[in-house]
Structure 1
Amino acid sequence: MKAFTCLSLAALLSSIAVTSVLAAADSAAVRRSVSLRDDWMYLTRDVAEPAEWTHDGKRFHYRKTVEGGFAFVEIDARTLKRRAPFDPGKLATALNEVTQQSYQPLRLPFETFEYTDENRAINVTVEGQRWTCGIVNYACNKAEPKDRTRPRAFGVVRDLDVPADNSPRTSPDGKWEAFVEDDNVVVRRVGSKEVIALSTDGTPGEFYDPETLAWSPDSSRLVAYRVRPGFRRIVTRIEAAPLRQLQPTVRTQLYPKPGDPVDIEQPVLFHVLERRRLDIDNALFPNLYELSAPQWRRDGRTFAFDYQRRGHGQARVIEVDGQTGAAKAVITEDARTFVFADRRYRHDVGDDAREIVWISERDGWRHLYLADAASGEMKQITRGAWIVRDVLKVDDAKRRIWFSASGMDEGKDPYFKHVFRVDFDGANLTRLTTADATHEVRFAPDMSLYVDTYSRVDMPPVSELRRADGSLVATLERGDISRLTAAGWRPPEPFVAKGRDGVTDIWGLVVRPRDYDPARKYPVIENIYAGPHDSFVPKSFWPFGFHSGGDKVIGMQAQADLGFIVVQIDGMGTANRSKAFHDVAWKNLADSGFPDRILWHKALASRDPSYDIGHVGIYGASAGGQSALNALLFYPHFYRAAVAYAGCYDNRMDKISWNEQWLGWPVDASYAAASGVEHAARLQGRLLLIVGEQDSNVDPASTMQVVDALIKADKDFELLVVPGGEHSVGRSTGPIHYVQRRQFEFFMRALQSVPAANGNSGPT
């Protein structure tokens, strides 16, 4: 018996020793992976970012990769002569003095800049702070804010703790000043102290907002909004470990949530000399979610504003007669599901705005229309099974529009952006970009030239200067990735499979380990973001900047190198395809495109024997965090493990703007249907929740309510709370290596059965 015990003990000790060695080796591999971005960051050359033109259109500049980092290049558009727009060494020194950091000349902490002070200074943004830096004397000072207006939480509730900008608004003829006094609109003659009250009904509970004051062009009339404030919901957070302070700190934030009352704005028209006021009948804009600022037509006959109905089922352009106050709906956009507020577009044509360029999805695709303001007739300018992405320029005199679009080329990636121009009547549709890639185009102010920067995930950027007709002036940059390739980089692989309807193409990317062996089996990890506000699978080359999706792909490669195949997919419910494709998300956020994603996985597995579809994990942040958790709640037969960052797990807990856009108003059962709190008891598989304690985007209480529900349901899970961490914890800011390491090690344990590493033993 003793011999057996000794043999068993020896075997156990041997097993522990082997496990310890394996864990140490895996720990070293993880640390190499989390440093991959740092290792690869500066291996490319001449990888250029989109250009920016000077206001006079004579020059343009851009940032590109060079030996040791990044450099800014400025080019004379006529002569093509190059120069550095500033001395990077002197600018780094100036920034270091005011920020107390140690920035290097080739690693300046900004990607774009704009000239100011007659080109003697530039404005830059560093860590959220704007600075004005002289490029003659090289001194930096905090920049004057672009906007002095009172903040509005998520655009719909004014922060009444911040004073409004009540500086007098001078009439166009220079004779009058208008402002708000004791919550009412008053005017006075310039140079006089005597005020004339135009309203008397303003109170703190229904006040006139000075920031909405708008004079008519002839100075005889004035518009202002009377405001009934919405609900002042405050989210309170405790910062447990403040920097350079022992005791915790309380942080508060104005944070309206779905269903909360929003500011109600009532347009009021004043005839100044007659001291007459007219409340504009709100029958055409009842139950409002948001009104844009009033805008007088240049002929002064009318003013107009945009209206978004609560619940996002209707948008309108309202025009008001400047004499009588009579309102009419010039354009009405109705939707069975939602009108996409962030993608609305309106351009008033000419001084009198008798025509309006408008974007609508009324035929099932996002297209340009020309509306007749008098009759309301809508003439379609563009049409087809493709979408307009952005309007770049409208020329009223030439009656011509420049725009980007995607999905026009059958059989090619429907997300690639190309640039076109078209006449108001739909004639002369002309393509200005031809390369099979996604294009970012920047036009000179006079539209005579443009810089086209195009790339794919497998092709570094090419930057070209072209004339208005599309002809080539010069190739400016051609990215060199030879050193990156020599270091082991391989491009992600696009893969396409049919979605749930058996017809629609679903596009995704595949990232394999750099030592990929097709004879092996690899567990699969999906990087998910299914927010309906955009599409998310990278389409351009990844120059390792936070803005470009590069870190997302690097993170996928770093994870793959630990023995996984990592993928990303745009399922139904995301944007930039047809309206029907997008509408899948409506009141259905639990869906997250999972029926399409699972079919995509299966299609790839059927072609690739190394794709271990029996061991699939998933991770995501924010809305992607909600989706990652929901994968284990609603699709546990397919997904085995999830890492969920900063998720909006119950949409009733999250910001009003994003959630009412996709789930509507009033708050109904669709909110609970997607809730990770309500369905926590359904959890299967292994789960790691990660949240930043100071998340100002998604209320961190959303995570803790999931934690509470999981505990009550007696479920096992892991939780990482990062003190002081913001919404982007583990991605672009904060202790990125630590959080990333925890994710990597979690998946190794959950999907590869690798023993847990001990990060306390130090790097190997």
Structure 2
Amino acid sequence: MTIYPIAKKSIAFVLLSLAFFQTKAQQAALGPYAPTPLEMANAYQLSNKLDTAIRNIPTNNDIVPFWKKDGSAFWYKKNLPNKTWEYYYVDAANGKRKVAFDHDIVAKNIEKITGKKQNPLKLQFAELYFADQGNTAKIKIQDNWYQLNLSDYSLTNTSDTTIYRYSAKKALQQRRSRWQRNRESIKSPDGKYEILVRGGNLLVVNTETKAETQLSTDGNADKPFGDFSWSPDSKNIIAYKTDPKEIKKVHYVLSSVPGTTRGELKSREYMQPGDDFTSYQPYIFNVATKKAVKVDADPIDFFGPQELHWRNNNSRYYTYEKVDRGHQRFRVIEVDVLTGKTRNIIDEKTKTFIYESRIYTRYLPKTNEMLWTSEQDGWQHLYLVNTLTGKQSLITKGNYVVRDIDSVDVVKRQVWFRASGMNANEDPYFIHYYRIGFDGKGLIDLTPEKGNHNLSFSPDRKYYLDTYSQVNIPPVTELRLTASTKKIAEIEHGQKDAFLATGVKLPEVFVAKGRDGKTDIWGIVCFPSKMDANKTYPVIENIYAGPHDSFVPKNFLPSSEMQSIAELGFIVVQIDGMGTANRSKAFHDVCWKNIADAGFPDRILWLKAMAVKYPNADITRVGIYGTSAGGQSSTGALLFHPEFYKAAVSACGCHDNRIDKQWWNEQWMGYPVAKHYEEQSNITNAAKLQGDLLLIVGEADENVPPESTYRLADALIKANKNFDILSIPGMGHSDGGVYGRRRKRDFFVKHLLNAEPPNPNVSK
């Protein structure tokens, strides 16, 4: 038989369809889970009890080391059952771990000196620092300091409050947001002059003689000069002529302020897509000649003036970064101070978007180089750029994603970074830590074990602590030697037994092909602990499809809202579909001007494939819930995919991308605001509603304006659609809190299980 070269995608779809229909036949032999009112009430009680029991078992997913200044030892707090804890002390050289002190004796001595009862397994210290090879400790309890002698446990008042605080985060290269303004410096580097702005014009004042020199004459109150910086040699000032634009306001009313009988109006500045930005035209002013040179560049009309980077020991050339509005062009521009002429060191353009907040830059003026991240080859990678020639060299390369830069060793010319997807045999979202040379050689995996990793270094970076886990595999914490990555000791090793003893089922990882028939789509599945093998259960999807990240949990997750909902008689899932971040550029680009897509073609295929593997999943009864962007997507599921999704709970959704915040929406939906914004709006498409919908909104939401939900409600009313809405007085950007989460569960019980949830209005 000849097989013609039809697309593998088509074959995959045919196979999935055949398996799906076979599953439907299997499900027909099973009965739907249909609880009685009493069974439903018991399910709520058991869900709450199980949730409490699981949460009282510690996971220790995040072991935080507190290092001694010399890096020879650290202490950490280990969580114990029932929200108690103990302190442990570790000698880094050999990894020997011991209980830091006798908790009972310390508790008794604290009681004696403070007069307050102490629980030895709940000792709370505002500060704790070990010294003298771990023989003494300084502790702060509320506002008082004590010295603890660990030889005899004597506790004395002390006025010596000197301790060493170290946070591993200090060592990380923190990416500077381009929303931050240029750092102004009034006084010149040599201290001889100070900048003064009067009537919108720029002046300098001699700090000795107080003589004033006016440098500009065409500024005024409407278009003033400002946002200034000095050249390193104090000879020139870079300043910007500003064309200000008023930021429009949004409003809300607090309906239920205690002690009042009237609503209280709240207003604040809030930029929405398409709003005008203040623009800044750069100029160079020479202090000695009073000459003004207009920089040969377009005004900065997106973000504000950025930090200037000067060549090493050279005050003639500086560079700045410019992101064009619409996020389709990023430049590093060099300016010649003498002429105002410019050239582009980096000029990246794309037909879709450049993810601005993921751009990393680090300037190395001594070698006329810079480090920069870009997705120009289809994956987020790190480049070394020669700032004199503009030549770019790939440091990292391959079908994986550089997630973040931890630090840069300029002397050794190494970059320490986080990445995911490098290991072909595991979840492509698992984060691993690496170091590599500027030349792209000498790649070292600091975290070789399979799992999602979280790593922190000692102050001298001689040692590091690596904690890793998977969604259904408890965390392991290891102490390793940085130079060789050799494991010194295992510090903690979590166990499943205590969780499984409660009866809970740990989440399962499931992978299926996406819309292209070849890309793996990853998600997790939560089952009820008392699932009857002879019953089918409705499926509920927890959705957040914001393009700014990926969202399916990767760390050990025995307890979650998803599991708590599952205990009521549902199979609950979470999926990262196309259009979310942390995969290839092509995977991410699906969201471009297309947020309404929300990865639904991938999600629906994933759910169908999941039902083939797990016949107890009834995907004729599928619900969906989400908050914020998830609120938008969950409503969109009913509007754009009513053949599949039957019920939705949407909290504080950004139901129209024109109403939500400018910076987030223009990043993905583009600029200018065009017809596609309207076409993808839930409000515009409200008349398409099928299925059951509950809207939740906090009246004091300062993230997504509440009118986003109210305008959707207005459109649904005008379209004569049935829906429910819950407005919560005083609440901000939220899923509704405890009350909203209870109403969400009740809604799904009623509309997917066709059962009656417990009625709190009926006294027992």
Same fold per superposition (TM over 0.5) = yes
Task: Tell me what 1:423 maps to.
Answer: 437
User: Aligned-pair distance for 1:243?
Assistant: 4.6
Task: Tell me what 2:480 maps to.
Answer: 466
User: Aligned-pair distance for 1:104?
Assistant: 12
User: Aligned-pair distance for 1:107?
Assistant: 9.7
Task: Tell me what 1:438 maps to.
Answer: 452
Q: Tell me whether 1:530 sits opposite 2:542 in the alignment.
A: no
- Distance in 2, matches of 1:203 and 1:696, equals 34
Q: Is the 8 A contact 1:157 1:262 kept in 2?
A: no
CA separation of 1:476/1:244 partners in 2, compared to 1, >3 Å: closer, same or farther?
Answer: farther
Q: Is the 8 A contact 2:420 2:432 kept in 1?
A: yes
Task: Tell me what 1:727 maps to.
Answer: 733
SS at match of 1:497: strand
User: Aligned-pair distance for 1:305?
Assistant: 1.6
Q: Tell me whether 1:347 sits opposite 2:362 in the alignment.
A: yes
- Distance in 2, matches of 1:683 and 1:132, equals 58
Task: Tell me what 1:279 maps to.
Answer: 294
Please give the per-residue CA displacement for 1:545-579, whole angstroms capped at 9, x wherever unaligned. xxxxxxxx610001000000000000000000000
User: Aligned-pair distance for 1:720?
Assistant: 0.6
CA separation of 1:46/1:712 partners in 2, compared to 1, >3 Å: closer, same or farther?
Answer: closer
- Distance in 1, matches of 2:309 and 2:385, equals 18
Task: Tell me what 1:690 maps to.
Answer: 696
CA separation of 1:365/1:719 partners in 2, compared to 1, >3 Å: closer, same or farther?
Answer: same
Q: Aligned AA for 2:740?
A: V
Give the alignment partner of residue 565 of structure 1, picking from 560, 571, 596: 571
Please give the per-residue CA displacement for 1:160-187, whole angstroms capped at 9, x wherever unaligned. xxxx998x63333233333544444333
Q: What fraction of aligned residue pairs are identical, expressed as a percent?
A: 42
Q: Tell me whether 1:621 sits opposite 2:627 in the alignment.
A: yes
Task: Tell me what 1:740 maps to.
Answer: 741
Q: Aligned AA for 1:422?
A: I
CA separation of 1:498/1:305 partners in 2, compared to 1, >3 Å: closer, same or farther?
Answer: same
- Distance in 1, matches of 2:760 and 2:311, equals 65
Q: Is the 8 A contact 1:295 1:305 kept in 2?
A: yes
User: Aligned-pair distance for 1:290?
Assistant: 5.1
Task: Tell me what 1:450 maps to.
Answer: 464
CA separation of 1:71/1:636 partners in 2, compared to 1, >3 Å: closer, same or farther?
Answer: farther
Task: Tell me what 1:5 maps to.
Answer: none
- Distance in 1, matches of 2:260 and 2:65, equals 43
SS at match of 1:222: strand
Give the alignment partner of residue 254 of structure 2, picking from 214, 221, 239: 239
- Distance in 2, matches of 1:89 and 1:293, equals 52
Q: Is the 8 A contact 1:63 1:73 kept in 2?
A: yes
CA separation of 1:635/1:470 partners in 2, compared to 1, >3 Å: closer, same or farther?
Answer: same
CA separation of 1:218/1:290 partners in 2, compared to 1, >3 Å: closer, same or farther?
Answer: closer
CA separation of 1:316/1:478 partners in 2, compared to 1, >3 Å: closer, same or farther?
Answer: same
User: Aligned-pair distance for 1:508?
Assistant: 0.3
SS at match of 2:332: strand
- Distance in 2, matches of 1:335 and 1:52, equals 44
CA separation of 1:175/1:643 partners in 2, compared to 1, >3 Å: closer, same or farther?
Answer: same
Q: Is the 8 A contact 2:280 2:300 kept in 1?
A: no
Task: Tell me what 2:203 maps to.
Answer: 186
- Distance in 2, matches of 1:742 and 1:112, equals 43
CA separation of 1:197/1:446 partners in 2, compared to 1, >3 Å: closer, same or farther?
Answer: farther
CA separation of 1:605/1:45 partners in 2, compared to 1, >3 Å: closer, same or farther?
Answer: closer
Task: Tell me what 1:363 maps to.
Answer: 377
CA separation of 1:320/1:77 partners in 2, compared to 1, >3 Å: closer, same or farther?
Answer: farther
Q: Tell me whether 1:264 sits opposite 2:279 in the alignment.
A: yes
CA separation of 1:322/1:503 partners in 2, compared to 1, >3 Å: closer, same or farther?
Answer: same
User: Aligned-pair distance for 1:33?
Assistant: 3.3
Task: Tell me what 2:331 maps to.
Answer: 316
Task: Tell me what 1:590 maps to.
Answer: 596
Task: Tell me what 1:754 maps to.
Answer: 755
- Distance in 2, matches of 1:138 and 1:351, equals 42
Structure of greater Rg:
2
Give unmatched runs, 5+ long, in structure 1: 1-20, 94-102, 114-118, 123-130, 140-153, 159-163, 544-552, 731-735
Give the alignment partner of residue 43 of structure 1, picking from 57, 67, 80: 57
Q: Is the 8 A contact 2:689 2:721 kept in 1?
A: yes
Give the alignment partner of residue 678 of structure 1, picking from 684, 705, 724: 684
User: Aligned-pair distance for 1:233?
Assistant: 1.1
User: Aligned-pair distance for 1:26?
Assistant: 2.7
CA separation of 1:111/1:261 partners in 2, compared to 1, >3 Å: closer, same or farther?
Answer: farther
Please give the per-residue CA displacement for 1:431-481, whole angstroms capped at 9, x wherever unaligned. 111111011122345433222121111122222222222112332322345
Task: Tell me what 1:150 maps to.
Answer: none
Q: Aligned AA for 2:350?
A: A
Q: Aligned AA for 1:589?
A: I
Q: Is the 8 A contact 1:43 1:481 kept in 2?
A: no
User: Aligned-pair distance for 1:329?
Assistant: 1.0
Task: Tell me what 2:151 maps to.
Answer: none
Q: Tell me whether 1:227 sits opposite 2:239 in the alignment.
A: no
CA separation of 1:727/1:357 partners in 2, compared to 1, >3 Å: closer, same or farther?
Answer: same
SS at match of 1:384: coil
- Distance in 2, matches of 1:247 and 1:519, equals 57
Give the alignment partner of residue 389 of structure 2, picking from 367, 375, 378: 375
- Distance in 2, matches of 1:240 and 1:587, equals 37
When the two chains are superposed, the root-mean-square deviation of aligned CA atoms in Å is: 3.6
CA separation of 1:694/1:300 partners in 2, compared to 1, >3 Å: closer, same or farther?
Answer: farther
Task: Tell me what 1:145 maps to.
Answer: none
My pick for the range that moved more, 466-475 or 504-513, is: 466-475
- Distance in 1, matches of 2:282 and 2:139, equals 40
CA separation of 1:272/1:647 partners in 2, compared to 1, >3 Å: closer, same or farther?
Answer: same
Give the alignment partner of residue 505 of structure 2, picking from 463, 486, 490: 490
Q: Aligned AA for 2:741?
A: Q
Q: Aligned AA for 1:491?
A: L
- Distance in 2, matches of 1:52 and 1:156, equals 33
CA separation of 1:443/1:219 partners in 2, compared to 1, >3 Å: closer, same or farther?
Answer: farther
My pick for the range that moved more, 61-70 or 576-585, is: 61-70
- Distance in 2, matches of 1:554 and 1:634, equals 29
SS at match of 2:745: helix
Give the alignment partner of residue 669 of structure 2, picking from 663, 667, 672: 663
Q: Is the 8 A contact 1:355 1:373 kept in 2?
A: yes
User: Aligned-pair distance for 1:486?
Assistant: 2.1
Give the alignment of 1:482-521 within 5 angstroms. 482-521=497-536
Q: Is the 8 A contact 1:44 1:480 kept in 2?
A: no
Task: Tell me what 2:17 maps to.
Answer: none
CA separation of 1:755/1:108 partners in 2, compared to 1, >3 Å: closer, same or farther?
Answer: farther
Q: Is the 8 A contact 1:30 1:741 kept in 2?
A: no
User: Aligned-pair distance for 1:534?
Assistant: 0.4
CA separation of 1:48/1:286 partners in 2, compared to 1, >3 Å: closer, same or farther?
Answer: closer
Task: Tell me what 2:427 maps to.
Answer: 413
My pick for the range that moved more, 180-189 or 685-694, is: 180-189
CA separation of 1:628/1:472 partners in 2, compared to 1, >3 Å: closer, same or farther?
Answer: same
Q: Is the 8 A contact 1:509 1:568 kept in 2?
A: yes
Q: Is the 8 A contact 1:340 1:661 kept in 2?
A: yes
User: Aligned-pair distance for 1:35?
Assistant: 6.6
Q: Tell me whether 1:708 sits opposite 2:718 in the alignment.
A: no
TM-score after normalising by structure 1? 0.82
Task: Tell me what 1:98 maps to.
Answer: none
SS at match of 1:202: coil
Q: Tell me whether 1:384 sits opposite 2:398 in the alignment.
A: yes
Q: Tell me whether 1:292 sits opposite 2:306 in the alignment.
A: yes
CA separation of 1:407/1:252 partners in 2, compared to 1, >3 Å: closer, same or farther?
Answer: same
CA separation of 1:176/1:235 partners in 2, compared to 1, >3 Å: closer, same or farther?
Answer: same
- Distance in 1, matches of 2:139 and 2:268, equals 34
Task: Tell me what 1:254 maps to.
Answer: 269
Give the alignment partner of residue 615 of structure 2, picking from 609, 612, 621: 609
Q: Is the 8 A contact 2:415 2:438 kept in 1?
A: yes
